[in-house]
Every structure is written in C-alpha cells, then in structure tokens.
Structure 1
Amino acid sequence: MGTEEAHDDHGHHLPAVEDWPRGFGEASWWPFVTALGAAGVYVAAALYILGRGDSAIVGPMVGPAALVATIGIFLVGLYGWTYHAFVVKFWSRDASAQSANKLRWGMLAFLGSELATFGGLFGYYFYIRTGDWESIFVGIPELTGSLVLINTALLILSSITLHYAHLAIRKNDRRKFIGGLAGTLLLGVVFIGGQVYEYYEFIIHEGFTLTSGFFGSAFFGLTGLHGLHVSLGAVLLGIVFARALLGQYSAERHVSVSTASMYWHFVDVVWIFLVVVLYVGAEVGG
C-alpha cells in the first residue's frame, strides 16, 4: 500500500478510521456514543427522582441537567454516525444493492427490537387492566378531545406525504421529493408541539400527572416513549431533508430515505394503537 493510499484510508478524523459502510468492516465509535447518550436518559430520570422530596439525595437540578447533557451526547453521536455512514464520499461510492439491502435489514432488526419494547409495555398494561377497572381510571380527565384527533390526523397525513416523497425520488422528481419531505417534517414538528401542549393541559389544568395512579404512569410512560421516538424520527427526517437540499439522492441512491420512511411509518402505526388502547380504552373503561 502506497503512502498516498494509506493517507486516504486513515486520514479521517477519529473516532471513525474509515467511512462506514464501505465494506462494512471499519470500526466506528459513533454507535457507542449514540447508545451512551440514549442510556443516559434513564440515568437522568433516576437522578430526577432522587432529587425530589425532603429526603432528596441529589440536588433538584441534577436530573434536568443530566438530561440536557445526555441528549446532547445522543445528538452528537447521531450526527457523527450519520455523517460518516452516509455523507462523506457519498458520490464516490458505488451504488451497491447488497449494501442497501444490509441497511434495510438492519433497520428491520431495529424496528423488531422497538416492537418488542412497546409490546412488553402494552402486555404489562393489559395485565393490570384485568384487575379492578374502577380503581385504575379514577380521576383521569377527558382524553379523547379534539387535540388528540387533530394530532392523529396530522401524523397519518405525514406518513402519506412521506410515502409520496419516497415515490418521487424513485422517479428522480427532486421538486416533489423535497416538497414532500418538507411537509412531512413540518407535520411531525407540529405533532410534537401538540403533544407537549396536551401534557401542559393535563398536568397544569387537570392535575393529571405521572403519579396519578397506575393509569397516569402508563399513559405518560407510553405516550412519552412514543413522543421520544417521533422526536428521533424528526431528527432523522431533518438529516434526510438537509441531504436532499444538497442533491445527495437519486433514483439509484435513496436507501436512507427508505430506512427513515420505515421508521416513520412504524411510529405512525404505534400511535394509532396507542390512541385506541389508551385514549379510547380509557373512555370505555371509565
């Protein structure tokens, strides 16, 4: 190997020695940084609990500060991972159907783990609901108002716009592709804002919180977890949108559009299930 070739192979800034996924054999620390940031969210939640009450072990701001720090680590790791995986030398790499299939199967495996996570939480919820229904639903506010219906319609519409954006890039129609992505991203951000507003109404005006019995913990736990997934999906779509503006997609090169679409459609389906089980189910149960 010549000096120039060696420089090309190892001249990238760490922690990635070479730009993954060229050959899928190069080491990268970015996935571990991303996982560390994600795991830190649970640590921050524990610190928040330990900082409450008269017998608090840590200060009340330790938990929120840790949450901000870990989210920062997560976003930095996600950026580095995405940059080295897809952006660097994008056009110099050959369009490989085998590599594209590996990435799609990787996303399917990830969604399988996410399905198991939500499935476990729903299974526990259904198990508890086999008990005394009246004690579970005491003191909950009206859930199936206009806000959740609007939010649901927005999220379903975002899946439709993303689907048509994906079809557009497969036809090399960049104008419709970018327009569809922009519309999807906007709808996703509005959905997140709507969920934050719903939390504000429930917590401040209705007194319905995470500590409002079993249903309160189940409601905020499941909807909050879903909101975190939608936020991550918005970040992914934002990266795809930025790359689309740079012209980094074509009919032959759109695997990251496919994987991001798979993730977004997944969170859409989970939300519909959440609405039926938690929102409508609570009205029926109450």
Structure 2
Amino acid sequence: MAEQTTHYYVPSQSHWPIVGAIGLLFIAIGAGMAVQQLGSEAQSGGWLLTIGVVIIIAMMFGWFNDVIKESDQGLYSAQMDRSFRQGMSWFIFSEVMFFAAFFGALFYIRTIAIPWLGGASNNQMTGQVLWPEFEAVWPLVTTPSGDTTTAMGWQGLPLINTVILLTSSVTLHFAHIGLEKNNRKQLTSFLAITVVLGVIFMLLQAQEYVEAYRHMGLTLSSGVYGNTFFLLTGFHGLHVTIGTLMLFVMLWRVIKGHFSPDRHFAFQASSWYWHFVDVVWLGLFFFVYIL
C-alpha cells in the first residue's frame, strides 16, 4: 500500500456526478409512472426505474474504482482523510434528516391529524371531509373507497429481518476488530457473513411485499397507512441495498489485500453507514410494525 502524500490532492473533473444525476432522474420518473398503475404507462415506468437503478449501480462501482486507484497511488494526505471523514459524517446526518421527515409525517398523522379528524367526525362533518366508515384509530385500514386492508404485524418476516440486521451489526463489528488486529481471516469471514445477511434481508423484504400485495390487500393505494408503510420500509430497503453494495466492495478489496490496521477509512465509513441503517430499522420496527 502506498504511503500518504504531504500535499492536498485535488482530483480532476469527473463525469460520475452527472451520471448519478441522470440515474436519479430515471428513477424519479420511472417510480412516478410505475405507481400510477395505468397499464402501459406503469410498464414503461418499470423499465425506466430499472434503467435508473442500473445506472446508479454502475456509477457507484465506477466512482469507487477511481477513488480506490487514487488511494493506492498514495495521492491522499492526512488532510484528505479528515475531509473524507467530515464528508461521510455530513452525509449520514443528511440521511438522518431524510428519515426524520418521514417519521415526522407518521407522528403528525397518528397524534394530530387522526384525532382531529375523529373530532370532526363527532361534529357531524363525516360526509364533508371523511367517509362513513372512518374510525379515528391507527392503523387506518379502511380507505375512502370502502376497501379494507390488513395491517402488517410485527411477527414473522419483520421480526426475522430485525434479528438479521442486528446480527449483521455484530458480525460487522467483529470484522472491524479483525481488521484492527490485522487478522485477515476474521476480517474476511465476518465481513462475508455480513454481506450474506444483507442479501437475505432484501430477499425477505421482497417476500414481505409480495405477501402484502397478494394476500393482505396492502398496496400504495391503501390510504395513508399503505403510503407511510411502503415509503418508510421501501426507502429503508433502498438504503440496505446501497449498504450491501458498499460492503460487497469492501469485501472485494479485503480479498485483494487492501486496508491495514492504521489505514482503512473506506471500511470504517461503510461500517458507519451500515450501523446507521440498522438503527433506522429499529425505529421502523417499533413505530411502524409494533405501535
């Protein structure tokens, strides 16, 4: 591994930011068209969404590859390392605010909006602002169209996924300890287990969605409960996917012999991100599934 330079490295212009912006644009348009459920438009939206995801994955691998090459060439100084740490810290903070907005919306609906609408119902306003079957309780499983859905319980797949994510945090911690002690076998084995657990979580969440759509009548059109459920769990699933890709790249680098006990911030940053995703899931499991 190359030694660090004493100069602050300023990278040349990169095309990866614009590639990422294009991928996000495809995802936004594709997701918007897909949720409309309007036949051919929804199908086209699915294709655009898939293209966007592929572009983002390609961007991640390409950008990671450029940064890895620059690090191996010894272009990064101690100041650059501090810049990376500050950047990752602010990125995770922005993610905290992102999920705080959704948790805030859930809090507002459950503690302010629904009780207020319940009061409106008691004041003979049902026919004006609500529907006859409205009950001021959470979850709202009855929609204005009269359809009734089933709320997702915390037992079964959600509980299993909770155990999986908590276990993955433990295995990742042991992998980090192995890296700090320069125990490559411990590092590789526990990191590989963490990646596998991440993949299992995603597969089980996909199975949960299939169960919700086919057997519980729980969809994005299932009123405010369906909206908040899929927005919170869906965005978290996206973050798990990104985190798993990051850890997979770290595993590949470990196998290639990268990192040392005193130089491994890429691994540490991926660990920060994964532990953050785990903490968010604990909040989701408690506020979305249990309460």
Same fold (TM over 0.5): yes
After TM superposition, give the deviation of residue 73 of structure 1 in Å: 1.0
**Match runs of 1:132-151 below 5 Å:** 132=115, 133-134=136-137, 136-138=139-141, 139-151=149-161
1:45 corresponds to 2:45: no
**Residue identity (%):** 37
Match of 2:3 in 1: none
- SS of residue matched to 2:41: coil
Aligned with residue 94 of structure 2, among 113, 119, 134? 113
Match of 1:59 in 2: 41
For residues 50 and 142 of structure 1, the distance between their equivalents in structure 2, rounded to whole angstroms, comes to 23
* 2:20 aligned partner, one-letter code: T
After TM superposition, give the deviation of residue 40 of structure 1 in Å: 2.5
After TM superposition, give the deviation of residue 135 of structure 1 in Å: 6.6
After TM superposition, give the deviation of residue 47 of structure 1 in Å: 2.0
**Match runs of 1:27-38 below 5 Å:** 27-38=13-24
**Match runs of 1:9-28 below 5 Å:** 23-28=9-14
Aligned with residue 207 of structure 1, among 190, 209, 217? 217
* 1:85 aligned partner, one-letter code: V
Q: Deviations over 1:97-132 (max 9, x none)?
A: 322221121111111111111111111111111214
- SS of residue matched to 2:246: helix
1:80 corresponds to 2:83: no
Match of 2:284 in 1: 274
- SS of residue matched to 2:56: helix
Match of 1:12 in 2: none
* 1:27 aligned partner, one-letter code: Q
Aligned with residue 69 of structure 1, among 47, 51, 74? 51
Match of 2:203 in 1: 193
After TM superposition, give the deviation of residue 163 of structure 1 in Å: 1.1
Q: Deviations over 1:169-202 (max 9, x none)?
A: 1121111111111010011111111111111111
Q: 1:142 to 1:69 in 2, by over 3 A?
A: closer
Match of 2:104 in 1: 123
Aligned with residue 181 of structure 1, among 162, 178, 191? 191
- SS of residue matched to 1:61: helix
CA contact (8 A) 2:139 2:151 kept: no
For residues 81 and 175 of structure 1, the distance between their equivalents in structure 2, rounded to whole angstroms, comes to 28
Q: Which runs of 5+ in 2 are unaligned?
A: 1-6, 116-135, 142-148
After TM superposition, give the deviation of residue 161 of structure 1 in Å: 0.8
Q: 1:135 to 1:183 in 2, by over 3 A?
A: closer
* 2:207 aligned partner, one-letter code: Y
- SS of residue matched to 2:257: coil
* 2:87 aligned partner, one-letter code: G
Match of 1:258 in 2: 268
For residues 211 and 228 of structure 2, the distance between their equivalents in structure 1, rounded to whole angstroms, comes to 18
Match of 2:230 in 1: 220
Matched residues, number: 256
Q: 1:122 to 1:66 in 2, by over 3 A?
A: same
CA contact (8 A) 2:9 2:77 kept: no
CA contact (8 A) 2:9 2:75 kept: no
Q: Which runs of 5+ in 1 are unaligned?
A: 1-20, 282-286
For residues 235 and 135 of structure 1, the distance between their equivalents in structure 2, rounded to whole angstroms, comes to 36
After TM superposition, give the deviation of residue 51 of structure 1 in Å: 5.8
After TM superposition, give the deviation of residue 205 of structure 1 in Å: 1.1
For residues 161 and 187 of structure 1, the distance between their equivalents in structure 2, rounded to whole angstroms, comes to 9
- SS of residue matched to 1:172: coil
Q: Deviations over 1:12-70 (max 9, x none)?
A: xxxxxxxxx971342212133123313421111122245616xxxx6342101101111
1:163 corresponds to 2:173: yes
For residues 177 and 35 of structure 1, the distance between their equivalents in structure 2, rounded to whole angstroms, comes to 34
Cα RMSD over matched residues? 1.9
After TM superposition, give the deviation of residue 167 of structure 1 in Å: 1.6
